[in-house]
Chains A and B, each alone.
Chain A
Amino acid sequence: MIRLENLTKIFETQKGSVIAADHITMEVPSGEICILLGPSGCGKTTTLKMINRIVPPTSGKVFIEGEDTSGMQTEDLRRNIGYVIQQIGLFPNMTIEENITAVPRLLGWDAKRYRERARELMDVIAMDPNIYLNRYPSELSGGQQQRIGVARALAADPPVMLMDEPFGAIDPINRAVIQDEFLKMQQALKKTILFVSHDIDEAIKMGDRIAIFRAGRLVQLSEPDDLLAAPKDEFVESFLGDDRALKRLNLVRVGDVVSSDIGTVNPGDTLATALKRMDEYGYQLSILMVNEQNEPVGMVPRSVASLTRGYCRDHFQPLPGTIHMGDSLRKATSIMFAEDTTWLPCIDDNGKVCGQITQRAMTRHLGARFRAAARTATAPATGA
């Protein structure tokens, strides 16, 4: 857990004093990722860097795991906080192993222990220790270097990590991959993480909570879905963009919207049965056909069923696509738009059908949250 209390930074410049961070008070519960988000110069990076005193705070307190850090030695404090920066900052004169084990060596671990730890960490970041441990940073790609940067921060197993736009310098394709890997890693490691970003999409993807900064102040601290549904003021709203409803598509899983009570046909059913079942369930256009293992194999269109006689197995058409229960609504929408369809069968890990998702259900789900948020927004604001 990280708690900031009235953390303030005033820079004295020749043109007078500038308040870079103004009484920031917030808390990140253990095991969560909190994204500090805002335009450049909003104080998010200053706030982050005050936690490990790269920027010494003017006033205010930082608590880590409930303990006031102001009494700690700066070096001890930093060795117990993982730190990842955008420029990565791997030491070019050290091998990958020496880079990863930098903190354990500072902490005086014995050689056997930190070497083992280096191999463990390489497994965590999915890089082959035998290939990479003896290489130098200049021999690695940008994405690999940042993985090593993350490994170095994790080396002494600190409960808390600070990340300053860690994936900002990586190309978009690799960034998505490394974000996914990082999230997977976080599920196992459960670190408490403060993460600076200026990319709203990254924030929504990575954050359990998002803190929006503006001109040195913390404007709003909410869970991503709440943030998108109920921005606190016009600044937040404009920062989120006018497609914020679309951004929520990333946050909602297919499983949240799926309707599991669906009508299907088997290859052995007659087309008449198919037509009857479509009427029963109110399907306008088509019905899903599944095999004995309950796997989706095709669909029978209403036009065919109403004009032809015979069995489904002879008259079905291929499915436009299927969607996994864990996928985001964004992916579902994309497939629907691309294939010009209003519904998709949903499958589980084994490829069995467990329901279907329709455009109607999606818009209703999203709209319900917006209407609820609009109601609470008019009531006195609580928290954040």
Chain B
Amino acid sequence: MELIQYAWTNIDVLLARTVEHISLVGVAVGLATLTGVPIGIAITQSERVARVVLYVASIIITIPSIALFGLMIPILSVFGHGIGYVPAVIAVLLYSQLPIIRNTYTAINNVSPALREAARGIGMSPLQRMRQVEIPLAIPVIMAGVRTAVVLNIGVMAIAAYIGAGGLGTFISRGISQSDPRQLIVGAVAVSLLAVITDYTLLALQRWLTPKGLSRSAGAGA
């Protein structure tokens, strides 16, 4: 009861933090999609390059976010952006690369050879094949990658409150430092709800973007 009351009285701050959280993650993953999808498409041309790129991306995603902040702050402070939303957005950008690149790459690579041959056989140029066949078929899997990235980075952004990036993590960090369980729980529940709701929303978007003929056969993830 007390919690609900607390949340209600602070609803304006809660909403502002939520919007902040969403917009930071949204902008960063949006940018990451703009880089990750072309990279994922490009590396289908060479298996060796693909292996290197995916390896590097997987190392990056292995680095714990707080460690990444610890590594970036000294470097970014040289440019005067050590703390705040800049390192957070860069971290989200980096973490998003693996799911987006990998899903794009696998999706395009997994288009069946028969389909590719049919597309070539009826005289589609490489660009037409890409636009009319490969990308439409890859979209659900690419969307699944974007979804993974968003959900992952909602968590990263929560931690980024500690480096002054704002967002819902602020409630948690204040809750801990002020030993205030109300802020702590409200923050934790809010960020969890945000992650779960976003996951479902993006899943719905993914289904909506899936070409109709695929909706029955194609799996959601990759």
New A-B pairs, 11, CB < 8 Å, besides A85-B117, A89-B118, A94-B211: A87-B114, A87-B118, A89-B114, A91-B118, A91-B119, A92-B211, A93-B137, A102-B124, A106-B122, A138-B214, A152-B122
Contact with A along B40-56 (1 / 0, CB 8 A): 00000000000000000
Q: Which of A73-81, A113-121, A180-188, A299-307 contacts B (4 or more CB under 8 A)?
A: A73-81
Which residues A34-86 have CB closer than 8 A to chain B? Answer: 52, 54, 74-80, 83, 85-86
Q: Which of B17-25, B125-133, B159-167 contacts A (4 or more CB under 8 A)?
A: B125-133
For the complex, give the distance between the alpha carbons of A180 and B114 in Å: 25
Q: B132–A78 contact, CB under 8 A? A: no
Please give the number of chain B residues whose Cβ is less than 8 angstroms from any Cβ of chain A in the complex: 23
Q: A103–B122 contact, CB under 8 A? A: yes
Q: Does A179 contact B (CB under 8 A)?
A: no
Q: A138–B213 contact, CB under 8 A? A: yes
Q: Which residue of A lies closest to B216 (CB)?
A: A138
Q: A85–B114 contact, CB under 8 A? A: yes
Q: Does B80 contact A (CB under 8 A)?
A: no
Q: Which residue of A lies closest to B126 (CB)?
A: A75
Q: Does A88 contact B (CB under 8 A)?
A: yes
Contact with A along B92-135 (1 / 0, CB 8 A): 00000000000000000000101101111111110010001100
Chain A residue contacts of B137, Cβ below 8 A: 92-93
Q: Does A250 contact B (CB under 8 A)?
A: no
For the complex, give the distance between the alpha carbons of A105 and B123 in Å: 11
Q: Does A132 contact B (CB under 8 A)?
A: no
Chain B residue contacts of A78, Cβ below 8 A: 120-123
Q: A93–B136 contact, CB under 8 A? A: yes
Chain B residue contacts of A83, Cβ below 8 A: 118, 121-122
Q: A85–B213 contact, CB under 8 A? A: no
Chain A residue contacts of B115, Cβ below 8 A: 89, 91-92
For the complex, give the distance between the alpha carbons of A85 and B136 in Å: 22
Contact with A along B180-222 (1 / 0, CB 8 A): 0000000000000000000000000000000111101100000
The residues of B with any CB-CB pair to A shorter than 8 Å are 112, 114-115, 117-125, 128, 132-133, 136-137, 211-214, 216-217
- CB < 8 Å neighbour of B123 from A76, A87, A88, A92: A76
CB distance from B210 to the nearest CB of A (A): 9
Chain B residue contacts of A370, Cβ below 8 A: none
For the complex, give the distance between the alpha carbons of A74 and B124 in Å: 9
Q: A52–B121 contact, CB under 8 A? A: yes
Q: Does A311 contact B (CB under 8 A)?
A: no
CB distance from B126 to the nearest CB of A (A): 9
Chain B residue contacts of A86, Cβ below 8 A: 114
**Known A-B contacts A54-B117, A85-B114, A88-B114; A93 and B213 likewise in contact (beta carbons under 8 Å):** yes
Chain B residue contacts of A87, Cβ below 8 A: 112, 114, 117-118
- CB < 8 Å neighbour of A136 from B121, B123, B212: B212
Q: Does A159 contact B (CB under 8 A)?
A: no
For the complex, give the distance between the alpha carbons of A138 and B136 in Å: 16
Q: Does A137 contact B (CB under 8 A)?
A: yes
* Pairs A–B under 8 Å by Cβ, sample size 28: A52-B121, A75-B125, A76-B123, A78-B122, A79-B123, A80-B123, A86-B114, A87-B117, A88-B114, A89-B121, A90-B118, A91-B133, A92-B137, A92-B211, A93-B133, A93-B211, A93-B213, A94-B213, A95-B212, A102-B122, A102-B124, A106-B122, A106-B128, A136-B212, A136-B213, A138-B214, A139-B213, A153-B122
Which 9 A-B residue pairings sit nearest by Cβ, starting from the closest?
A89-B118, A136-B213, A87-B114, A78-B123, A93-B211, A79-B123, A83-B121, A93-B136, A89-B114
Chain B residue contacts of A106, Cβ below 8 A: 122-124, 128
For the complex, give the distance between the alpha carbons of A352 and B114 in Å: 50
For the complex, give the distance between the alpha carbons of A74 and B119 in Å: 13
Chain A residue contacts of B211, Cβ below 8 A: 92-94
Chain B residue contacts of A93, Cβ below 8 A: 133, 136-137, 211-214
For the complex, give the distance between the alpha carbons of A78 and B212 in Å: 28
For the complex, give the distance between the alpha carbons of A79 and B128 in Å: 13
For the complex, give the distance between the alpha carbons of A75 and B129 in Å: 12
- Among A74, A83, A88, A153, the most chain B Cβ lie within 10 Å of the Cβ of A83
Chain B residue contacts of A162, Cβ below 8 A: 121
For the complex, give the distance between the alpha carbons of A139 and B136 in Å: 18
Q: B213–A79 contact, CB under 8 A? A: no
CB distance from A157 to the nearest CB of B (A): 13
Q: Which residue of B lies closest to A91 (CB)?
A: B133
Chain A residue contacts of B213, Cβ below 8 A: 91-95, 136-139
For the complex, give the distance between the alpha carbons of A76 and B125 in Å: 10
Chain A residue contacts of B124, Cβ below 8 A: 75, 102, 106
Chain B residue contacts of A80, Cβ below 8 A: 123
Chain A residue contacts of B133, Cβ below 8 A: 91, 93
Q: A75–B132 contact, CB under 8 A? A: no
For the complex, give the distance between the alpha carbons of A137 and B212 in Å: 10
